[in-house]
Amino acid sequence: MNEIRRASERGHANHGWLDSYHSFSFADYYDPRHMGWSALRVINEDRVQPGQGFGTHGHRDMEIISYVLEGALGHKDSMGNGSTIRPGDVQRLSAGSGITHSEFNHEKTGVTHFLQIWIEPSATGITPSYEQKNFSAADKRGCLRLIASPDGRDGSVSIHQDASVYAGLFDGSEQARCPLAADRKRYVHVVRGSISVNGAALAAGDALKAGGGDISVDHGQGAEILLFDLPGTWPAR
């Protein structure tokens, strides 16, 4: 099965300091048809105004990935980590048994535009941990580059779930195919630009939900995408 979710169908909240689009039910946005896809629970497209951000707050039992598109996001957490996340960076925060953290756009001018992604872990109560790596535009050009995986293979960040995340940049004749097992689920989110995914024309903010099998992407125009390879059944039986 293939199901297209258009950007205009997402939930939306504009708080002034934060303009956010929700691919799945989140905060005051609730849609029982869109509670997540397999272990993928949240994709929020956030734009944070200069000098603004998320004050100290808590999480537990969630794998949280931050993927910055424009600007810079300052991060501090109760494990003692402090960093700035910039375009190309992938930050993974395993909340596990519980952490607190804050995220701010410390720039005096310029909006920080990023994706906040939550993936449910395969085990609860694990020791919290943190990881951040950079993947250059060249790493992702014309291919699907692994950026997160259960075992940290190929230099990806490690997540506590049988799930893998790929990122790619595509223009013109650039194309890629990713073979995935038939008993898996797939989710493709178009970060920006436009592209054809398995023959479906998608634009920024659009997504394709699908069962197992290959994913093919081509005819990109300034396209950046994320591909999620997810458990076919979740929660695990």
- Indicate if the pLDDT at residue 237 is higher than 60: no
Q: Which domains does the chain have, with CATH numbers?
A: 2-231 (2.60.120.10)
35 CB-near residues (< 8 Å, 6+ apart): 24, 25, 41
Could you give the C-alpha distances from 70 to 63, 105, 221, in angstroms and in order? 22, 11, 18
Mean pLDDT over 3-32 rounds to 97
Q: Which tens digit of pLDDT belongs to each residue from 32-52?
A: 999 999 999 999 999 999 999
* DSSP secondary structure string for all residues of the chain: -EEEE-GGGSEEEE-SSEEEEESS-BTTB--TT-S-BTTEEEEEEEEE-TT-EEEEEEE-S-EEEEEEEES-EEEEETTS-EEEE-TTEEEEEE-TT-EEEEEE---SSS-EEEEEEEE--SSSSPPPEEEEEE--HHHHBTS-EEEEESS-GGGPEE-SSS-EEEEEEE-TT--EEE---TTEEEEEEEEEEEEEETTEEEETT-EEEE-SS-EEEEEEEEEEEEEEEEESSSS--
Q: Which tens digit of pLDDT belongs to each residue from 159-216?
A: 999 999 999 999 999 999 998 888 999 999 999 999 999 999 999 999 999 988 899 9
- Indicate if the pLDDT at residue 217 is higher than 50: yes
User: What's the pTM?
Assistant: 0.96
pLDDT band at 236 (very low <50, low <70, confident <90, very high): low
Mean pLDDT over 106-122 rounds to 94
